[in-house]
Structure 1
Amino acid sequence: MVDQMRWDYLYRFYDRYKENGFKRLLNEGFSNENTYINHLPTVTAIGHSCVYTGSVPSITGITGNDFIKEQEGRKTYCTEDTTVNGIGTLGKEGQMSPRNLLASTITDELKLATNFRSKVMGIAFKDRSSILPAGHFADAAYWFNDAGNWITSSYYQQDLPSWVKQFNQEKRINAYLKDGWNTLYPANTYTQSSPDDNPYEGPMSGTKHPILPITAEILEKNGPHIIYSTPFGNTFTLDFAKEAIKREKLGNNPARATDFLAISLSSTDAIGHQYGVNALEVEDMYLRLDQDLSSFFQFLDQEIGAGKYTLFLTADHGASHNNPFYIDHKGSGGYLDANLLKELNQQLKATFNVDQLIISFENDQVHLNHRLLTQRQLNEPAIRDFIVQYLRKTPGIAFAVDMDKVGSSSVPLPIRERIINSYNYKCSGVIQLIFDPQWKTGSSHQTGTGHSAWNPYDAHIPLLWMGWGIPHGSSNDVVSMCDIAPTLAALLHIQEPNGNVGKPIRFIDRQVIQH
């Protein structure tokens, strides 16, 4: 999975891709050109969980990177688990597990189908991007900490394997960053090069302007974790994945069972958030990622054998254009009033004589203070109706939907389906906000990009397949991110995940698109 990869990046930079990276996937494998996310918000934790469960937040319980447990009013991180300890680290960054994920994953089902003879591993810089795909029965999930090491938790292991310790001790980050970050090709040949220094991009810490090159000295001053915010983070992740394949004998299982390695590349998200969609840095990152993928595919051919592995590439979400950039170029859009929550609570107090009835707008949802509602024996339906009517008059809000009335709402069906798919009454707000296109929370001074909306810029993602069981071709049929897990189940002849709502993708009888 490539974090924050918009579908159009396959073609925006296509002319500069080499033959054995993205072009190999397109020209040798199968591309589902119209793959969409069917949940809200479009964020990392939900995207990764939905791909691997074939399910949606209403069933998986993963309703955001963070979400509020409604009856407690407590904010919860998607993979937090205080019952486990970090392995290879101290503190909260290691106290993680998949326990908040209520549904099984395709990786879990593979474990069950082979009576746990299959090896399953997850690898990503982000803990949630490693843990949620690897599932409940994984042999290991590894993620990256601030000290620059690959770590795990006692949910999986009581000690890091010797090969992981050795990999950490080698301090490879220094080698990746020793030459700084310059453009792969002359900067003036990039489609996003004019201008590179602009107010829509955010500079890296230690720099005054968002431009390349960034020297090795600046990168070093930022500490080892800065590799996450450079293209070399993808290289580093794939190199760790190669080491895992070799040392764990993935794909060469002595029990002759199928193994599963779930990899997520997170640096694409960090760089996108920093610089935005229309940035030379993002273009350079994808050109470098193309080379990294070429190297990784070649490694798989040599280590496992061409045609003896099945690979898919997709994204957890896309990204919108930087709002000030979009508006300055005469596109419609805007920002919600930063004081909206405060003002709405004041209006509720004036009407119902109770303060702080709304505790949060987390995940673009209205979260009520349920303890207060119970203590004061307040009329919750009346309060919800008041909030909906108020928000409908707010500039930038297209729909404010009471979740008890969503089935009869006037929201267009595709958006209504996403709202329903995303509502879990234990950890979702009672009212869903849908913004006008290109409207956001935040301010007009924001740089870089964001994501969370139903709109195609956030919800249209790539889906490419290659290898065993995959014919060459492409299809313009609309498919869902939730269709990936049941497709893998069909290929492997195993049961689909227990919360699956997706359908297997048919690879035959498709018109081949000439690139």
Structure 2
Amino acid sequence: MTKNIFLILSVAISCISGRGQEVVRVNHSPKLVVGIVVDQMRYDYITRFYDRFGEGGFKRMINEGFNCKNNHFNYVPTYTGPGHASVYTGTTPKNHGIISNHWYDKFGKAMVYCASDSLVKAVGSDTHLEKMSPRRMKTSTVADQNRLHTQLRGKTIGIAIKDRGAILPAGHSANGAYWFRGKDEGKWITSTYYCNELPDWVKKFNDSDRAESYLRVWNTLYDINTYIESGSDLNEFERGYTGKETATFPYDFAKLKDQNSGFDIIKSSAYGNSLTTDFAIAAIDGEQLGADKITDFLTVSFSSTDYVGHNFGVNSKEVQDTYLRLDKDLERFFNTLDAKVGKGQYTVFLTADHGAVHVPAYLKSVKIPAGYFDRDGFAKKVKTFVKEEFKTGELIENISNNQIFFHYAGLKKHSVAPEELQKKLAHFILQENQIDKVFTRYQLENGQYTTGIGALIQKGYNQKRSGDIVVVMDPATISYSRTGSTHGSGLPYDTHAPLLFFGHGIQKGSTTQETHIPDIAPTISALLGISFPNGATGKVLPFVLK
């Protein structure tokens, strides 16, 4: 017995004072975790623009950290609200409840917004809009779990141009979430969910007129003729800005702002990311993030990449310039973290909330199947069919987000079984052009799909909030304008997103093994030694961690 105790003690001591003085630490966490979401970033933007990037931004993360090359969203729809929620909750809309940016609330009989909250009001603006909070998200985030683990001593701050990009990642217990109010204000604001008055550092930033400084000319960072990784500057696939005849560089924002909602023009340009970086750097100082040994959380979403993509499209010169400029902003941000928090003292992950499809009109021009879906015409056909088949117009309550919601009072009144309506309507819809697949509530609730689009839909399907019929369109077929890109499908152009880790506790390397967006929060939780978010379904990625 004595010999065994001696052996155990010897092993324990060797772990502490053995060869190389290796020290085993269970709770050695970074001083700061920074989560970065680049809105509408396709994975191939990394490979497509790689040779044009500098050494301190995307390349630094790849060379010093870990690159998950085959990372995907494992649910649909691939929109901003669900994307941000899934990254930080470690689960999918099936559980966290953020099923879209806007969705039909069948209990309130109205469309609702993923971050809206009538019980709060804006702080930093007099607008009656901007009543925002995370209350519609049903589960906790990794940032929430860090707050709980540290007895609320670890801070959480969320930042994004878009309100939902700031609010959902920061979670329910955040110290603050800030988003940009454009229009004629140009200010960073919050809501009474977090505080009743802006902190002094935010007031100081707003008073600095930093936003106004970006009402300048946007031209390409480098000679536009060297931008061979994107299409021609003048083409018919881009929308551009009101007041400028062509969607071509340069753009004079001082002249264009009045016709483009004032400061909102900054949001829809590369400069919106620079402004976000400025504000995130101010937050590090203002909130003293990473200043002690208790782990803090900073969530940053670069929203302007999405606005630019929607406006100009995946293949545009504007998208390329936006990413080359974002690369420089990331370098500036990482240099600040080195100086303020310390190299090796912080951990960063970077991903996206969804990808994007090439402009279908462009795809068609190069003979790739693509198209545009008439949503209003489809809704009219559905209602006409139901009325003729069941002799009543009271069975369909709402059609939105590629879903059909039944009017259950009407079903009862006319003695129509929900399964009967589902079956007949699904068969009718599947005969329509541009419709690829149809799923019913009965199928999604009673079957189990393990692969393919059915599995993605099930993970995005919330029994309480989702509809009774889910419609899937053909590949590269969208309900959108004929200029610019959009997203939302379960196809690779929308699901394949970057996932980069670097900094404290992160291995160097890469993998082509398939990983999923909900794996991020459990992996960071494991790094920090904290409980997973309470709805987490993702798995830890052990090859990422040291």
Query: TM tier, shorter chain?
Result: over 0.9
Report the TM-score when normalising by structure 2. Answer: 0.90
Q: Give the whole-Å Cα distance in 2 for the aligned partners of 1:122 and 1:13.
A: 28
Question: Residue type of the partner of 1:362?
Answer: S
SS in 2 for 1:330: coil
Q: In structure 2, what is the equivalent of residue 239 of structure 1?
A: 278
Higher alpha-carbon Rg: 2
Q: In structure 2, what is the equivalent of residue 513 of structure 1?
A: none
Question: Residue type of the partner of 1:320?
Answer: V
User: C-alpha offsets along residues 323-359 of structure 1, whole Å, 9 cap, x if unaligned?
Assistant: 1110111001222344111011011111112115334
Q: Give the drift of 1:192.
A: 4.8
Stretch moving more, 81-90 or 407-416: 407-416
Q: Give the whole-Å Cα distance in 2 for the aligned partners of 1:422 and 1:194.
A: 34
Percent identical pairs in the alignment equals: 42
Where in structure 2 are the equivalents of 1:222-233 lying within 5 Å?
Answer: 222=260, 223-233=262-272
Q: Give the whole-Å Cα distance in 2 for the aligned partners of 1:406 and 1:425.
A: 9
Q: In structure 2, what is the equivalent of residue 310 of structure 1?
A: 347
Q: Give the whole-Å Cα distance in 2 for the aligned partners of 1:112 and 1:392.
A: 48
User: C-alpha offsets along residues 447-483 of structure 1, whole Å, 9 cap, x if unaligned?
Assistant: 0000000000000000000100001100111010000
Q: Give the drift of 1:379.
A: 2.2
Residue in structure 2 matching 1:435, options 460, 470, 473: 473
Where in structure 2 are the equivalents of 1:75-224 lying within 5 Å?
Answer: 75-146=111-182, 147-178=185-216, 180-192=217-229, 194-221=231-258, 222=260, 223-224=262-263
Q: In structure 2, what is the equivalent of residue 478 of structure 1?
A: 514
Q: In structure 1, what is the equivalent of residue 30 of structure 2?
A: none
SS in 1 for 2:502: strand
User: C-alpha offsets along residues 209-258 of structure 1, whole Å, 9 cap, x if unaligned?
Assistant: 110001143344331221101111001001100000011100014xx310
Contact 1:53–1:482 (8 Å) recurs in 2 = yes
Q: Give the whole-Å Cα distance in 2 for the aligned partners of 1:45 and 1:312.
A: 19
Contact 2:230–2:315 (8 Å) recurs in 1 = no
RMSD: 1.8
Q: Does 1:251 align with 2:251?
A: no
User: C-alpha offsets along residues 126-146 of structure 1, whole Å, 9 cap, x if unaligned?
Assistant: 111111000010000001113
For structure 2, the residue ranges without an aligned partner over 5 or more in a row are 1-36
Q: Give the whole-Å Cα distance in 2 for the aligned partners of 1:375 and 1:228.
A: 49
Question: Residue type of the partner of 1:400?
Answer: V
Q: Give the whole-Å Cα distance in 2 for the aligned partners of 1:414 and 1:308.
A: 41
SS in 1 for 2:300: strand
Q: In structure 2, what is the equivalent of residue 357 of structure 1?
A: 395
Residue in structure 1 matching 2:64, options 13, 21, 28: 28
Residue in structure 2 matching 1:323, options 347, 360, 383: 360
Q: Give the whole-Å Cα distance in 2 for the aligned partners of 1:174 and 1:316.
A: 28
Question: Residue type of the partner of 1:276?
Answer: G
Structure 1 residues 124 and 47: CA distance shift in structure 2, 3 A: same
Q: In structure 1, what is the equivalent of residue 8 of structure 2?
A: none
Q: Give the drift of 1:413.
A: 1.9
Report the TM-score when normalising by structure 1. Answer: 0.95
User: C-alpha offsets along residues 368-419 of structure 1, whole Å, 9 cap, x if unaligned?
Assistant: 2234334444322211111100111111111101121137779782322111
For structure 1, the residue ranges without an aligned partner over 5 or more in a row are 511-515
Q: Give the drift of 1:163.
A: 1.1
Q: Does 1:420 align with 2:444?
A: no
Structure 1 residues 322 and 360: CA distance shift in structure 2, 3 A: farther
Q: Give the whole-Å Cα distance in 1 for the aligned partners of 2:137 and 2:464.
A: 13
Structure 1 residues 31 and 299: CA distance shift in structure 2, 3 A: same
Question: Residue type of the partner of 2:417?
Answer: N
SS in 1 for 2:280: helix
User: C-alpha offsets along residues 173-208 of structure 1, whole Å, 9 cap, x if unaligned?
Assistant: 222233x10011111110256521111011212211
Question: Residue type of the partner of 2:503?
Answer: G
Q: Give the whole-Å Cα distance in 1 for the aligned partners of 2:474 and 2:448.
A: 15
Contact 2:360–2:370 (8 Å) recurs in 1 = yes
Q: In structure 1, what is the equivalent of residue 13 of structure 2?
A: none
Q: Give the drift of 1:262.
A: 0.4
Contact 2:160–2:178 (8 Å) recurs in 1 = yes
Structure 1 residues 115 and 316: CA distance shift in structure 2, 3 A: same
Question: Residue type of the partner of 1:396?
Answer: Q
